[in-house]
């Protein structure tokens, strides 16, 4: 098993694209990249902790290779927005790929370069690629939020702009 960690704005919206794929053994919402130990959601949402909202995926690379995770990741985000994602604004909602080994690092760099050269966007790709650091799981009520609170999740997702952006750029 390996870990993959992606920041893509609100972590609630980053779980479902990955969860039913073969070889995915777990997905946790949480925080990474900041300076505060064991941060709470209330602290992270201020944008002052340096943490990003992330999902940490446990996967079997022999069944679902890291490259496929990257292929799923990019269409979930606006990789040209460095101020947050969609309706969610602030540093805690920026995009990033946190790599766990050198192979992931190389593959992430290659996929970002390919996306930048694809002509899909007329602005530069700003998604950061950083080494993974300590992952702090989010509070229990954030885990599988889309399952626990389907009505609220559907409302949040439909008003966020995420799906409209995806339809426009990732047909």
Q: Given 4, 7, 10, 132, which residue is catalytic?
A: 10
Task: Collapse the DSSP code of 5 into the 3-class scheme (helix H, G, I; strand E, B; otherwise coil) and give the result.
Answer: strand
Q: Let me know: does 29 contact 142? Beta carbons within 8 Å.
A: yes
Give me the residues paired with residue 7 across strands: 54, 96
Return the structure tokens found at 130. 């950083």
**How many whole angstroms separate alpha carbon 60 and alpha carbon 110?**
21
Q: Is 13 a catalytic residue?
A: no
Distances (CA, A) of 33 to 20, 64, 72, 116, 133: 27, 25, 22, 24, 6
Residues annotated as catalytic are 10
């Amino acid at each position: 098993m390996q870990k993959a960690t992606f920041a893509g704005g609100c972590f609630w919206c980053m779980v479902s694209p990955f969860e039913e794929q073969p070889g995915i053994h777990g997905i946790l919402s949480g925080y990474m990249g900041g300076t505060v130990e064991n941060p709470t959601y209330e602290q992270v949402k201020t944008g002052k902790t340096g943490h990003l909202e992330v999902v940490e995926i446990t996967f079997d690379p022999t069944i679902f290779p890291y490259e496929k995770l990257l292929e799923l990741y990019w269409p979930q985000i606006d990789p040209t927005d460095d101020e947050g994602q969609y309706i969610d604004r602030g540093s805690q909602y920026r995009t990033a790929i946190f790599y766990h080994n050198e192979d992931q690092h190389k593959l992430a760099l290659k996929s970002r370069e390919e996306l930048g050269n694809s002509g899909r966007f007329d602005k530069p790709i700003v998604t950061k690629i950083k080494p993974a650091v300590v992952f702090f799981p989010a509070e229990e009520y954030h885990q599988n939020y889309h399952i626990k609170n389907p009505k609220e999740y559907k409302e949040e997702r439909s008003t966020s702009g995420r799906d409209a952006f995806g339809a426009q750029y990732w047909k």
